[in-house]
Amino acid sequence: MIVSRRWLEALLGRSLVAREVAERLTMTCAAVEAVVPVHQDLGDVLVGQVLETKPHPNADRLTLCLVDAGGVGGPLEVVCGAPNVQAGRKYPFAPVGATLPGGVKLERRKIRGVESNGMLLSARELGLGPDHAGILELDTPAAPGTRFLDAVPVADDQLVLDVPANRPDLLCHKGVAREVAAVLGGTVKLPEIPGGKAVGRSGGPSDRPAVRQSDRGVVDGVEIRLEDPEGCPRYIAAVIRGVRVGKSPEWLAARLAAVGQRAINNVVDATNYVLFELNQPLHAFDLARLRGPAVVIRRAKSNEPITTLDGVARKLTAEMTAICDAERPTIVAGVMGSAESEVSEKTTDLVLECAYFQPTRIRRTRRALGLTSESSYRFERGIDLLGMPDAMRRAIDLIVAVAGGELREAPLDLWPKPEQSRSVFLRPARVSHLLGVEVPRGDIERVLSAIGFVAAPKDERLAVQVPGWRPDVTREADLIEEVARLRGYDVLPDDLRPYRPGTVPDAPALRARSRVRDQLVRAGMLEARTLPLGAPDGPDAVEIRNPLSAEHAHLRARLLPGLVRRVEYNWAGTVRDLRLFEVGTVFKRGKGAPEEWTSVAGVLTGAQRPLHWSAKVPDMDLWDLKYHFELAVQVASPGALVQPLPTGVGWQAVVGEQRVGWAGPLEADAPRWAGALFGFEVRLSEVAPARPAYRPLPATPSVVRDVALVLPGGVTAAAVGEALRRAGGTLLESLEVFDEYRGPKLKGGERGVAWRLTFRDPARTLREAEVDQVIMTALKALEEELDVRRRES
Amino acid sequence: MSDLLAALNALRERLTEVPQADERRLRELKTEILGRKAGALTHILAAVPSLEPKDRKAVGGVANALKRDFETAFAARERELKRASVAAGDLDLTMPGRAGWQGGLHLVTQVVDEICEIFRELGFTRAVGPEAESERNNFYALNFPHDHPALDAQDSFYVGDGVVLRTHTSPVQIRTLEAYPPPIRVVIPGQVYRRDPFDPSHSPVFEQIEGLVVDEGVTFVDLKAALTAFARRFFTSDTTVRFRPSYFPFTEPSAEMDVRCQICKGSGCPTCKQSGWMEILGSGMVHPAVLDNCGVDSERYTGYAFGMGPERIAMNRYGVSDIRLFWEDDVRFLSQFARPHR
């Protein structure tokens, strides 16, 4: 909502400093996002009076003017190109050295051989309007040399107010002025309408009409039928005859311009003025085009056509309320009228509508039509149901003042089920209870009454009458907020007090995520985050029903595809060495809601270590993959076994029969210079790995033996290791593979694998002979079971 | 036998050669004396088992002692040579050291962790909930009115009938209130989704951290105290904060917390859009309707809740200008934050 500082000043009858207003509103009401100065860039412009004119010696269309701009040096000679320049008149004048809107600094220069000591300005040059046909004539008593801004009140500030969805009252100047008055002082009073008849506030036909608890009536020959009181609980109509539709007076156009609205014609501008002043959307339509003449407020028929003001042919549904004449819809209620019924230059008699439309009805309608207007925005949030007659009166006064015409009959106010203003009980003790400080009852009453609530004591409580413009206030907590914000949140202390610890245990799921992240970071991997939205990954992929785009229409089922895309992205940036991992949520279709769980995935490519001068660094290979996979599985799925894939190159992690992890080489769109790409993915379990148990440190020496073996084809290192372990019994502390040989010294299919075995007896020093004996036994077993023999050196 | 003893004595003489040996000579000496195939001492030791039992002990004892002495001398000389070569200055010590890859957490994870740690110091544990969530938990149990403009800021992705990708972490408030009795004191980090296209400051998926405290006698002062303490621990101890009115359907009163812009210290700069303040979080006293919806007695219990966006906070603190950088996973970006720095 754009708020004009000048408009607020008019409502409050006092001057305001925009910055101060912004600051106070932000701290007590709603955030002011920006303060935009309007026309304050005209500070160098003066009022100039043309004393005499004569033709330019060298140009037919130019005039030489003698201008009095109040300067001590006397009148100045100025060249002017405008056809409307006349001696004796006053115009905006920019002297040499003045800065004009847009930041241009005016210099003295010769125009067709004659020096010009300044410039007379058009509306467009001042940024005041599109008019550039001539210079702007000023009708002002101000003396020549007066600052233009002091003579013509156009300088303003726009306050850009971020109005929350629950505060429709802040969508108009009166509502904002009310808040300003509550914190800065002042009384809100509607300004006099310039040129309006100084009619008293009673007795005129526009005065508050009697409410009719009926759904139909006639006003000045026009029949009004309220057939949809659910969609439109209250409808006030007036007929104004004999208006002259035309241009709005300056002041009205200026008011609207101040809030960024374009002037259209005096009738429409008057209704817009009331919209921005009182938050009451109004609609004026041409009585001559109204068949009947009747106004029927009813549910639209399914597929009923209407061409809205924006020129689009639309179809209505039975869920929408339409304002119709005797035959067909002329307005989509609360949203937009039709071109056909709109007020035009030819209109003389009009019907003025002041209605309350049910907020959710309007919301559904505008969403269904994809059509939002200033009116629908306000109806959707709830306008002041009780303030409608006042808004109607203001609108009538305004239209009559700016467009003429006559109200022959009081407006018709149809309100089949009138409502009283709501009362909410407030316990003053509860205010202190919730805010944590004592708030005196007097403070509560004062603060509430400052913004239009009426508080009356009732037992230990206050019965607080809620004004119609505050549909958001329905219970005690809402009133406590009013008290708290208007006193200011900053007055409350912020000292930490003792608290009771909570009953919720720290989430195991987050601990599991941290464990695996830390594990992979220690292994030199960088954490990535990939978008969970993408192309479908498998038949169980969860589809998004209303995606932003076709390529982001599914939820990911795995992390690896996303990570591969990130590798390609990095490759595109010519980065070759990559170790990325992600811990994230993945989804698959389930019964009802999708199933989701946490997954861990990593990708590896490029050098094993950063480049170093001391040695050539090899690229990551399958064995780096296996190491990282095992690291991840250890903490992500404690107890899972890593084993070779049944087919193909790679590994899987299994818990019982279930595969919980996969690792292997990956395909990608790789540049020629890229290394091989490997990846793994493991389902994250919330179970923590077993706590390590302390084993006493060895007090006896170990015996280390290297054993080189020849393995026939098909015998795995795992099988040999298993046999060694069995034979080694408790004395074999550890075994590691430290070499592999394939080559001409062995028969085809065979390979040599060397193990380093460490033996130890924790209780005593082992004798070499014992170890030899164990190794002999092991070799024998290996030969018998696996046909593995010792390799001759 | 006496031959062997004599040979051992002769070998012992050669111990004096060790401290003078250069690197090459040392290698030769080791081979000559202890070499596995041709070492003089190795030969003697090999001969010991074939001696008479009484000689075996005498010779074996002397030979083993000598072996230890040589080993000690060789090791000492090796260390000496190594030191000497460094001191001699034939190394270029400006050459780079040997590195391993530096791993690191994503900046957003770091910020989330840091925020959660601060709240742990303030007595909060962490809670989680699913990302695909019922409309009931995401909206209506949180007191969002049906068909209300408040829903406009929460444009959601639908993945089933009445199932949305959660638009905030607030539905975990509902889950927590329904699963645990007060006192409740939790923070809830997690990923959330909104139907906002990517731009420099918006992403359809982002991180949020929610907080919820419910107990007897919890007040607005407690809200201010906890959140001010958080801000001063996360930023600097002299950070100025302000609380101003806001609107969330699930809190009443509602408040926005701003901190003095960390970049311009309040004088106005492009980062804070000249306001001198940075919006950090939304907060408020838990709306009694939310407590009632979860079966918590709203007369007896009160509470506060808050929510913040770690990406925004990270962008402010680290000067990252575009939220999309968090999703690109450019390692040149990620590795800038890998080094531990707090």
Reported as a single tens digit per residue, the pLDDT across B126-135 is: 999 999 999 9
What residues of chain B lie within 8 A of the CB of A610, using their CB?
Answer: 99-101
Residue B73 has pLDDT above 60, yes or no: yes
Residue B322 has pLDDT above 50, yes or no: yes
Query: Highest mean pLDDT: which of B47-61, B76-90, B179-193, B260-274?
Result: B179-193
Q: Which amino acid is at B152?
A: D
Q: Which two tokens stand for residue B186?
A: 């939790």
What residues of chain A lie within 8 A of the CB of B327, using their CB?
Answer: 529-531
Pair type for strands A336-337 and A313-315: unpaired
Pick from B216, B302, B329, B336 the residue to mutate for testing the A interface (most A CBs within 10 Å).
B329
Q: Which CATH superfamily is domain A211-414 in?
A: Phenylalanyl-trna Synthetase, Chain B, domain 3 (3.50.40.10)
> What percentage of chain A carries pLDDT values higher than 70?
98
Q: How far apart are CA A52 and CA A64, in angstroms?
A: 8
More confident residue, B90 or A303: A303
Whether chain A has a CB inside 8 Å of the CB on B246: the answer is yes
Q: What's the count of helices (H) and strands (E) in chain A, helices before strands?
A: 18, 40
CATH architecture designation of domain A41-154: Beta Barrel (2.40)
Domain A2-39+157-184: CATH class, spelled out: alpha beta
Q: What does the DSSP 8-state code read for residue A456?
A: E
CB A76, CB A46: distance < 8 Å? no
Per-domain residue ranges of chain A: 2-39+157-184, 41-154, 211-414, 428-491, 508-683, 703-790
pLDDT the model gives residue B86: 67
Mean pLDDT of chain A: 92
The pLDDT of A642-657, averaged and rounded, is: 95
The pLDDT of B67-88, averaged and rounded, is: 82
CB A419, CB A356: distance < 8 Å? no
* Chain B residue nearest residue A566, CA to CA: B329
CB B6, CB B44: distance < 8 Å? no
DSSP reduced 3-state for A383 = coil
Q: What is the pLDDT of residues A514-530, one digit of tens each?
A: 999 999 999 999 999 99
More confident residue, A679 or A107: A679
The pLDDT of B325-335, averaged and rounded, is: 96
pLDDT the model gives residue A203: 46
Asked if the A703-790 domain carries CATH number 3.30.70.380, the reply is yes
Helical axes A18-28 vs A5-12, angle rounded to 10°: 80
pLDDT the model gives residue A138: 86
* Identical fold, A2-39+157-184 and A428-491: yes
φ, ψ at A538 (rounded to 5°) = 95, 165
Q: How far apart are CA A117 and CA A126, in angstroms?
A: 18
Pick from B36, B37, B193, B247 the residue to mutate for testing the A interface (most A CBs within 10 Å).
B247
Query: Highest mean pLDDT: which of A62-71, B144-153, B176-185?
Result: B176-185
CB A321, CB A228: distance < 8 Å? yes
Residue B278 has pLDDT above 60, yes or no: yes
DSSP reduced 3-state for A588 = strand
CA angle at residue B167 from B163 to B171, to 5 degrees? 75
pLDDT band at A199 (very low <50, low <70, confident <90, very high): very low
The pLDDT of A252-265, averaged and rounded, is: 92
B186–A502 C-beta distance less than 8 A: yes
More confident residue, A242 or B148: A242
The pLDDT of A64-92, averaged and rounded, is: 88
Query: What domains sit in chain B, N to C, each tagged with a CATH number?
Result: 2-87 (no CATH), 107-337 (3.30.930.10)
pLDDT band at A585 (very low <50, low <70, confident <90, very high): very high
Whether chain A has a CB inside 8 Å of the CB on B219: the answer is yes
The pLDDT of B286-291, averaged and rounded, is: 98
Residue A210 has pLDDT above 90, yes or no: no
* Chain B residue nearest residue A475, CA to CA: B288
pLDDT the model gives residue A18: 95
Q: Give yes or no for a cis peptide into B253 (omega within 30° of 0).
A: yes
pLDDT the model gives residue B50: 83
* ipTM of this complex prediction, to 2 decimal places: 0.89
Query: Highest mean pLDDT: which of A132-136, A422-426, A457-461?
Result: A422-426
pLDDT band at A201 (very low <50, low <70, confident <90, very high): very low
Q: What is the pLDDT of residues A524-577, one digit of tens each?
A: 999 999 999 999 999 999 999 999 999 999 999 999 999 999 999 999 999 999
Asked if the A428-491 domain carries CATH number 3.30.56.10, the reply is yes
Nearest to A529 by CA among B120, B334, B295, B237: B334
Continuous segment of H or E residues that includes residue A443: helix A441-450
Residue A200 has pLDDT above 50, yes or no: no
* Chain A residue nearest residue B147, CA to CA: A360
Q: What distance in Å separates residue B323's CA from the closest CA in chain A?
A: 12
Pick from B102, B106, B154 the residue to mutate for testing the A interface (most A CBs within 10 Å).
B106
pLDDT the model gives residue B147: 84
The pLDDT of A741-767, averaged and rounded, is: 92
> In which order are the strands placed within the sheet that holds A732-741?
A732-741, A751-759, A703-711, A789-790
pLDDT band at B89 (very low <50, low <70, confident <90, very high): low
Q: Which two tokens stand for residue A352?
A: 């003025």
Residue A202 has pLDDT above 50, yes or no: no
Residue B42 has pLDDT above 90, yes or no: no
pLDDT the model gives residue A684: 98
Domain A508-683: CATH class, spelled out: alpha beta
pLDDT the model gives residue A485: 97
Nearest to A608 by CA among A587, A598, A622, A589: A622
